[in-house]
Amino acid sequence: MAMVGHPYRGFNVGRLGFALAYGVGFVFVSLAAIAETLNALNVLNNGSEPGADYTLRTFLIVGSVLACVSAALCGPLIALSKRVTGCARSPAVAAFTLAAAALVVSHFYAYDAYYAPSRISFGDEHTFSTGFVVLAVGLDLAASALIYRHVRLGFALQLPALLLSALFIFAAGVGH
């Protein structure tokens, strides 16, 4: 007989819940990363007026920041329990932190609507150093890589990784 709550046997409602939550976050953050990449490639244009963003940019950025902060705060709590860690480990968790890293990179190269119509990227503004961005991306990649090998460490690393990512994404764009 399969136990519903056991992380290693049978159908697991907890594992499905974690996978669904991180999966939704992954889709949202990935959409923002794709949109920011298209903006950096000048496919999505900010417009000719200062402050004129492409459609849904603020929604995608703020939603991604909220998803990153939520996951960052949950990561250490998940890491505290072996049983919960076993439930939470899924490909969606690794994909979410990879999407956060992709969003940080794409946002760094995306154009800031504040300076429209000039094509000044967030990286050109020097609000954040390149080292800060590299640190945020490196921690995201490390957290993603550790999810399967050293699960509890991977979840604990989500706190600094995703908070740094959220800080950059918010402060470099919406936080003018």
List, for residues 3-45, the tens digit of each pLDDT value. Answer: 445 555 555 556 677 778 888 999 999 999 999 999 889 888 7
β-pair partners for 121? 111
Confidence of residue 95 (pLDDT cuts 50, 70, 90): very high
- The predicted structure's pLDDT at residue 78: 84
- The predicted structure's pLDDT at residue 9: 55
Contacts of 124 (CB under 8 A, 6+ apart): none
> From the CA atom positions of the chain, what is the Rg in Å?
18
| Alpha carbons 146 and 152: distance in angstroms, whole number | 8
- The predicted structure's pLDDT at residue 97: 94
- The predicted structure's pLDDT at residue 18: 75
CA 106 to centroid of chain Cα atoms: 12
pTM comes to 0.86
Quick one: CA dihedral 160, 161, 166, 167, positive or negative? positive
Q: Which residue has the tokens 């969606």?
A: 92
Which helix (H) or strand (E) is 99 found in, with range? helix 91-109
Q: Which is nearest to 69 in space by CA: 90, 100, 110?
A: 100
